[in-house]
A = this chain, B = another copy of it.
Amino acid sequence: MKLMRAELLTVGSELLSGATINTNAAYLSRRLAEVGIACRRHTTVGDERASLLEALQEALGRVDVLLITGGLGPTFDDITMGAIAEATRRPLIDHPAVAAAVRRFYARHHRALQRAALRQAALPRGGVPLPNPIGTAPGLWLPLDPPLVIALPGVPAEMRAIMERSVLPRLRRWRPALGGLAGCTLRTVGVVELQIQAILQRLRIPSAVQVGLYPHLRMVDIRLTARASTHQEAHRLLAPLERQLRRRLRETVYGVDADALEAVVGRLLLARHKTLAVAESCTGGLVADQLTDIPGSSRYLRGAVVAYHNDLKRGALGVPAAQLLRHGAVSAPVAMSMAEGVRRIACAAVGLSITGVAGPSGGTAEKPVGLVYIGLADRRGGRSVRAQLFGDRRSIKLQAAQTALDSLRRYLLDGLPER
Contacts and interface: CB of A to CB of B under 8 A. Distances in A.
Contacts of A192: 111
A285 interface: yes
Interface string A5-48: 00000101111111111110111111101000011111111110
A183 interface: yes
Interface string A343-367: 0011100000000001111000000
B45 A30 contact: no
A405 interface: no
A305 B116 CA distance: 44
A179 interface: no
A391 B133 CA distance: 7
A51 B25 CA distance: 18
Given A19-B214, A38-B16, A75-B197, A391 B51 contact: no
List the number of copies, as a whole number.
2
A312 B43 CA distance: 50
A41 B51 contact: yes
A248 interface: no
Contacts of A38: 16-17
User: In the complex, which of the residues A16, A43, A117 has the most CB atoms of chain B within 10 Å of its own CB atom?
Assistant: A16
A311 B302 CA distance: 8
Nearest to A196: B75
A291 interface: yes
B194 A117 contact: yes
13 contacts: A13-B210, A15-B26, A18-B26, A18-B29, A41-B55, A73-B193, A75-B194, A76-B197, A293-B397, A302-B309, A303-B305, A309-B346, A316-B346
Interface of A: 10, 12-23, 25-31, 33, 38-47, 51, 55, 58, 73-77, 108-111, 114, 116-117, 133-134, 155, 157, 161, 183, 185, 192-194, 197-198, 210-217, 221, 223, 225, 278, 280, 283-289, 291-293, 295-298, 301-309, 311-312, 315-316, 345-347, 358-361, 388, 390-395, 397
